[in-house]
Amino acid sequence: MTRTIKASGQASLFDWQPPEAVVEFDPFVIRANSFSGRLSRAISIALDTSSSSRAEIADRMGRHMGRTISVNVLNAYASVAREDHQISVPRFDALVAATGDRRLLEFVARDHGWAVIDRHYLPCVELAAMAEHRAALGRRERELRASVRRGMR
């Protein structure tokens, strides 16, 4: 009879989850009638889920840009009702830097068919692209060989 001893704190191999290559907002949560409405909702969620207060984020954004950013302006960017307050690209960059929320970048990239991934995964992406290219070359080589054989008969 075998005995199984499980030490406390011992992790199970079945508990392991792969890291998320792409992180994004739940599309249901950022639903709106326009891009600017979805962007405002995304900014609002990024601010609300941050471990920092809006005042701290506004301060970090200001230091990143070298100018003062008020909490009121930050709140206007996060409000769907304030369509007259659209965040500029430099301020969006400062917001990403201040929150560290990669979902904001994914929000913009997704509509263009792109994904924002950690640079750590770039060699894996390149390997996958090379494998696809190698498979395409193999298919083309087989097609050409078949064509040559047909022509030689």
Spatial separation of the C-alpha atoms in residues 77 and 71, rounded to whole Å:
10
CB atoms within 10 A of CB 112: 7
Q: Report pLDDT for 83.
A: 80
Determine phi and psi for 73, rounding to 5 degrees: -65, -40
Question: What sign has the CA pseudo-torsion 137, 138, 144, 145?
Answer: positive
pTM higher than 0.85: no
* 100-143: pLDDT as tens digits: 999 999 999 999 999 999 999 999 999 999 999 999 999 999 99
Question: What sign has the CA pseudo-torsion 119, 51, 96, 47?
Answer: positive
Among 45, 17, 41, 20, which residue's Cα sits nearest to residue 116? Answer: 20
Average pLDDT over residues 34-53: 95
Q: Which two tokens mark 42?
A: 């995304």
Instruction: Tell me the pLDDT band of 3, cut-offs 50, 70 and 90.
Output: low
* 69-102: pLDDT as tens digits: 999 999 999 999 888 889 999 999 999 999 999 9
Spatial separation of the C-alpha atoms in residues 78 and 22, rounded to whole Å:
23
Q: Report pLDDT for 18.
A: 77
Q: Report pLDDT for 46.
A: 97
Instruction: Tell me the pLDDT band of 1, cut-offs 50, 70 and 90.
Output: low
* 46-58: pLDDT as tens digits: 999 999 999 999 9
Q: Report pLDDT for 69.
A: 95
